[in-house]
Amino acid sequence: MKPLPYPEAPVGILSFDFDGTLHDPEADPAVGAVFFEKIMKLRELGWIWGINTGRSQLQMKQGFMEVRFPFLPDFLVARERELYTPSEFGNWYPVEDWNRQVERDHKRFFRKVKKPLQRIREYVVSETQAEWVEQEGDPAGVVASTEAEMAKICERIDAEALHSPLLGYLRNTIYLRFSHKDYHKGSALAEVTKRTGITAAEVLVAGDGHNDLDMLQCCYANWIICPSNAHVDVQQAVKDQGGYIAKERASLGVLEALEHFFPE
């Protein structure tokens, strides 16, 4: 699996979330072949495209294999913040200076928010059915029992964040991980945009979940889209910004929006 030859002068960026936005576990194939055909056409016009996901780089590599991508994207944002680019042979390389900065800032972040995190942990453990998770690379996270419970936990975190301005989190359905407020899919995409030498006026974003809200914003993209299966909060955000809510699900919905904005 390899990327397509990189355009001499990219004209724009397409940034897609993976799970739910392109990948539909209920569909067969999980990502429509017609979607890749459209990407191929846009790629010929000089657009570059990337996956902007909460998955780790390894989990995403599995995703590419599972779905049998006919060609790799031109960039990958993993764990909502780390950047990777593929070699012409399809090996993924970290964008080292950026990823080092991300790691350094997160180490500092977790030292700084120790106390507020402790208070949130106490709340989660004693007052909810949710589970507090600590794992390699992710020092603090929560798995709630329901989405409603997660919404309540987010309110509690938001209250705590009023006094800890760095305290951020990335939420996807019942999963949440704590993160430096400045690092999310939006800021990662802004870094890709800057490095590509273009502006947000030439960027399109597509997402379906809460962790996509950070990139589904006018400051990062000119075209904002979501498939029909996007969370209601996401649909509302897309609507509020004059974006496009597709009638179709997942990759077919994204394709519908691409055809809407770029018919040829």
The answer to the question of residue 74 lying near Mg ion (CB under 5 A) is no
Dist CA 193 CA 129 (whole Å):
41
| 208: Cα within 13 Å, side-chain hemisphere | 21
Task: Point out which span in 59-67, 74-82, 95-103, 200-208 binds Mg ion (CB under 5 A).
Answer: 200-208
**Closer CB to Mg ion, 193 or 211, in the complex:** 211
Q: Comparing C-alpha atoms, which of 261, 231, 252 is closest to residue 33?
A: 252
- Among 12, 15, 16, 19, the residue binding Mg ion under the rule CB under 5 A is 19
- Among 3, 20, 50, 73, the residue binding Mg ion under the rule CB under 5 A is 20
Exposed (0-12), middle (13-18) or buried (19+): which is 242, by Cβ within 10 Å?
Answer: exposed
The answer to the question of residue 17 lying near Mg ion (CB under 5 A) is yes
Longest dimension (CA), the chain: 56
Shortest distance in whole angstroms from residue 21 CB to Mg ion: 5
Shortest distance in whole angstroms from residue 207 CB to Mg ion: 6
- Among 209, 227, 243, 253, the residue binding Mg ion under the rule CB under 5 A is 209
The answer to the question of residue 256 lying near Mg ion (CB under 5 A) is no
**In whole angstroms, how large is the CA radius of gyration of the chain?**
18
Query: At 133, which amino acid appears?
Result: V
The answer to the question of residue 208 lying near Mg ion (CB under 5 A) is yes
**Beta bridge partners of residue 78, listed in sequence order:** 82
Count of C-beta atoms within a 10 Å radius of residue 217: 18
Task: Point out which span in 109-117, 139-147, 177-185, 206-214 binds Mg ion (CB under 5 A).
Answer: 206-214
Shortest distance in whole angstroms from residue 145 CB to Mg ion: 20
Shortest distance in whole angstroms from residue 104 CB to Mg ion: 28
Measured at the CA of 151, the angle between CA 148 and CA 156, to 5 degrees, comes to 130
Q: Which two tokens stand for residue 259?
A: 């055809």
Shortest distance in whole angstroms from residue 246 CB to Mg ion: 14
Q: Where on the phi/psi map is residue 83: left (φ > 0), alpha (ψ -120 to 50), or beta?
A: beta
**Closer CB to Mg ion, 7 or 141, in the complex:** 141
Shortest distance in whole angstroms from residue 17 CB to Mg ion: 4
Shortest distance in whole angstroms from residue 55 CB to Mg ion: 10
* Residue with the CB atom nearest Mg ion in the bound state: 20
The answer to the question of residue 191 lying near Mg ion (CB under 5 A) is no
Phi, psi (rounded to 5 degrees) for 41: -65, -45
Task: Name the residues that contact Mg ion, by CB under 5 A.
Answer: 17, 19-20, 208-209
